[in-house]
Amino acid sequence: MSDMAQRQGNTILGHPKGLFFLAFTEMWERFSFYGMRGLLILYMVQDLLISDRVNDVAGMDAYRRAITAIFGPLSTQAFASRTFGLYAGFVYFTPLFGGLLADRWLGAKKTVMIGIALMTLGHFAMVFDWSFLIALLLLVLGSGALKGNIAAQVGHLYPKAAEALRTRGYTLFSTGINVGAVLGPLACGTLAQIYGWHYGFALAGVMMLVAAAVYFAGMRHFPDHRVRPADGSAPPLAGSDWRMIGLIGLIMVFMTFQFLAYDQSFNVGLIWVADHVRLETAIGAVPVPWFAAEDSLASVVVVPVLIGLWQWQARRGSEPGDLGKMAIGAVIMACAMLALAAGATLSGEGNKASIVWPVLAYFLTGAAFMWTWPTMLALMSRRAPAGINALMMACVYLTAFVSSVGAGFIARWYEPLGAAPFFLLNAGIALAGAALLAIFGPALRRAMDRHDQPGKSAPVASSLVASAE
């Protein structure tokens, strides 16, 4: 806990008050993001791209020509998947520039406020067909300003020595993300199914306004960390800093394999569910975006199970390290893809698959996420050089950029291969990532410990275990 927070009594449950404002801001922002994302691919393949209204979209002709020139002629499904992949990818690429902007010039507060404004405009622009591409651009730019910086602000609430408290804080922050990610697809998907696509998009815009209100209400509790000399130049990085950056970069490369499969579950995965799964139940038809909500719900539900498991392992000296947990997450992700492949295989030609298979698959994707993502955020906050903390936190999202764009590229083989072989391919990709982490993980851990800066090393502990201590 910072001295300032202690003096002012700005704590709740032992954490700075700012943590809870940041967590609730991100909860409603993620409500909007995941609510819109759960609709996007279905909106394109089931409505916009197969209707005459697509001709009214500003810039669509030029965009389609550019995509065709780069990737060749694409079917409607492949074009939609490529568009979805590019959008989802650049949402996670632009935080690199947002982190640089905050670290060097504006500070985190101003940069996050810019991001909130752009994302709010983007979500409301989705309400209209003509501004579809403009909306995606605004959301990409807004996410770039917000994502890495709001996560970095969480780390700045704590002194470097409070590693256990910091990782607990990141767990609470990640829980807020997951709650929003559950509620968003449920609410937006239900509105879209009952009243139409644009009502779902409008709700996402309204909840971004709520996120803005929460952030502005808590601004006095937030640090505005910016590491730079008085002349505005960047502080030099030591040799150990560059070695650490290289090691972290290698870990992110290995993580990308499992996230290729993860992102495919929200791309082709949702298309397959919509077209080839029996969604009718005793209480009515299940909206397809609800499966995206299930992924996030699973991320919340598995937390106490993982806490208990890792505490039990820790008492016996057998708890996996950070990289070991990421490898386990990759194996679970492969199992999720195998569940989709099993559903496609067992349903038989021309028949629809049981809803049990996607329910199982999307539970597993959510569980895999919680083995990996909070662990990586805490590792980055602990290991990243101080002078580029927000920038390096944003670099975590490069894995999501590469995996989202890559998933959009791989999606073109869905129609030629068929569902079962396609999902088996994605299972193999996730398993390759698990193998790389298992083989090289111990050496990477030793190298990071050798080159870590004095005072920053801490015993590797799960952010989820720390949250229960």
Q: Along the chain (469 residues), what's the average pLDDT of each consecutive run of 10 residues?
A: 49 79 93 92 93 94 94 91 92 85 85 94 95 96 88 78 70 83 92 93 95 91 61 60 82 92 93 92 86 89 85 85 89 97 85 93 94 80 69 76 90 92 96 94 83 46 36
**What pTM was computed for the model?**
0.79
Give a yes or no: residue 203 inside a domain: yes
The Cα 97–Cα 103 span in angstroms is 10
- Supply the pLDDT for residue 239: 66
Report the sign of the C-alpha dihedral through residues 374, 179, 148, 165, in that order: negative
Which are the contacts of 313, defined by CB distance < 8 A and separation ≥ 6? 319, 320
- How many residues can be counted in the chain? 469
Q: Which residue has the tokens 């697809």?
A: 185
Distance CA 160, CA 151 (A): 16
- pLDDT given for residue 390 in this prediction: 63
Q: 201 with 123: CB under 8 angstroms? A: yes
User: Please, are residues 461 and 307 in contact by the beta-carbon 8 Å criterion?
Assistant: no
Q: Identify which of 211, 223, 35, 203 has the alpha carbon closest to the alpha carbon of residue 113.
A: 211
CB atoms within 10 A of CB 345: 16
Under 8 Å between Cβ of 444 and 251: yes
Would you say residue 8 lies in a domain? no
Provide the 8-state DSSP code for 51.
S
* pLDDT of the residue at 454: 46
**What dihedral do alpha carbons 463, 389, 35, 86 form, nearest 10°?**
-120
Of all helices (H) and strands (E), which one includes residue 67? helix 60-71
Cα-to-chain-centroid distance, residue 349:
35
Task: Say if 3 falls within a structural domain.
Answer: no
Residue 362 counted as domain residue: yes
Does residue 2 sit within a domain?
no
pLDDT of residue 308: 85
Q: What is the pLDDT of residue 228?
A: 53
Q: How many helices (H) and strands (E) does the chain have?
A: 19, 4
Spell out the residues 6+ positions from residue 231 whose beta carbon is closer than 8 angstroms to its own. none
* pLDDT number for residue 387: 66
Task: Classify residue 228: in a domain, yes or no.
Answer: no
Which pLDDT value is given to residue 457? 39
- According to DSSP, the residues that pair with 280 across neighbouring strands are 285
231 lies in a domain? no
**Could you tell me if residue 62 is inside a domain?**
yes
- What is the domain count for the chain? 1
* Closest CA relative to residue 290, chosen from 48, 30, 82, 34: 34
For residue 250, the domain's CATH number is: 1.20.1250.20
Output the pLDDT for position 62: 96
Amino acid at 401: F
C-alpha of 7 from chain center: 35
Cβ-contact 145, 109 below 8 angstroms: no
Q: 408 is in which domain, residue-wise?
A: 13-223+240-468
Short-list 461, 285, 268, CA closest to 374: 461
Residue 265 and residue 336 in contact, taking contact as beta carbons nearer than 8 Å: yes
Residues paired with 11 in a beta bridge:
16
123 and 208 in contact (C-beta within 8 Å)? yes
pLDDT in the model for residue 120: 95
